[in-house]
Amino acid sequence: MQRRTFLKGAGVVSVAVAGGGVWRAWEQGVFSSGEGAAYEPWKNWRTDAGGGALGLVRAAILAASPHNTQPWLFKVENSSIELHLDTRRNVGALDPYLREAHIGMGCALENLMLAAAANGYAATVRLVAGKLGPIATAGPVKLLARVGLALAPAHRRQATPLHGQGEGNELYDAIPRRHTNRSLYHPEKAIPPAFEEALGRLASGETEVKLFLFTAAAQRQTIAEISAGANDEIYADPAVERGSHRWLRTQWSDVQKYRDGLTIDAAGMPPIATGVAKMMTPGMLQWAASRSSRNGYKERMLSAPLLGVIAVRDRYEQEQCLRAGRIWQRAHLLATARGVAARPCNEPVEMMDRERVLGQPARRAALLGEVLGDAAWQPTFVFYMGYPRWKARASPRRGVEDVVL
């Protein structure tokens, strides 16, 4: 089944399933959402407080990543942690320069730094400089950052403010509750000005990353149309479909086996529709998707009262990708702490990558650049936020034992 088909069907499942009954419901985990080894990392992330630096990795692996690929590897020592990108965990033509994978690594780094501060460490970060290149030129494992760790003085061993924007503890405590919410939102429920102001300040200390926020209806409409058009075009590309298909986990046994990827539970459907979809065969899901609204993706985006764009000076500069990822993770954690939901909608930037690798005119960069109105900044991450109709469910996670070198 294609990833586009899966995501389209996720929003419209409303048919009844005959036959199969209780046995298939049990086999497909209808009554076991969020349970099993694939979900234990969300529950035991703070159970080994005396685990030293390894305990920080337990927080890092709960970060966001593209298609839930979890492309991270960690080398842990008493006084340092190295972050390595496992380039083999990629989505192929959808991310031909591993730009989004690097952003996901920045998300993991942000969680790790929050955990370090909350657990009594004075942590310093050294990012590895470099330019992004095609997947084919990358080695299997790539060092991206080294975090130096030293125990802070006893009187400072507590969560510290994050760049002066609220208490770091607020974001740290939100780590196990942060989940991507793909459901429809309540468009009539506006984002509080205080939250929008706090969100806008998250990148104020950065010189190479800028956060653009849009709440006006006309601007949101324009971004949603750009995104929906990019979504339709990019997933019509067979090469993109092939690369992303292997991260679909529609079978409960695969969820528990691989502990990664896109799942039905996390697709943003109402609880009853989620149960129905999990009992469907791939063919039935494809049929449901064929009956979905063509404009469903745009409708979901426009149900959110706030759209945002994270921009950098050079979207193919490795360090800037990591910094952008830290900002996204920080923003999503802040939203979670304040009761706001969030979801990426990166298709316009994915199309920028695709146009670049195919040698086509940079049409999407021009369209989104007009919205930003500042040629000095290049979009690298698009998202929306609001108040959801349904609670987000966790995505599966590999354990620490799977990601430590």
User: What would the pLDDT profile of 160-184 be if each residue is shown by its tens digit?
Assistant: 433 334 456 899 999 999 999 999 9
Number of C-beta neighbours around residue 147 at 10 A: 23
Q: How many CA atoms lie within 13 A of 185 on its CB side?
A: 28
Distance CA(48)–CA(34), nearest Å, equals 21
Residue ranges of domains in the chain? 3-402
Name the burial class of residue 364, with classes exposed (0-12), middle (13-18) and buried (19+) by CB atoms within 10 angstroms of its CB.
buried
pLDDT for 286: 63
Task: Determine which helix (DSSP H) or strand (DSSP E) holds 146, and give its type and residue range.
Answer: strand 141-151
Question: Between 237 and 29, whose confidence is greater?
Answer: 237
* Pair of tokens at residue 282: 């791939």
The answer for residues whose C-beta is within 8 angstroms of residue 87's C-beta and 6 or more apart is 71, 98, 101, 135, 138, 139, 140, 141, 142
**Each residue's pLDDT tens digit, 68-106:** 999 999 999 989 999 999 999 999 999 999 999 999 999
Q: What is the dotted CATH code of the domain comprising 3-402?
A: 3.40.109.10
* Cβ contact 383:344 at 8 Å: yes
CA 230, CA 225: separation in Å to the nearest integer?
8
Tens-digit pLDDT profile for residues 263-311 = 999 999 888 888 888 887 776 666 555 555 556 889 999 999 999 999 9
> What integer pLDDT is reported at residue 256 of this predicted model?
97
pTM more than 0.85: yes
Burial of 78 (0-12, 13-18, 19+ CB in 10 A): exposed
Provide the CA 221 distance to its chain's centre, in angstroms.
23
Question: What are the pLDDT digits (tens) for 35-80?
Answer: 999 999 999 998 755 568 999 999 999 999 999 999 999 999 989 9
Locus of tokens 């990012």:
127
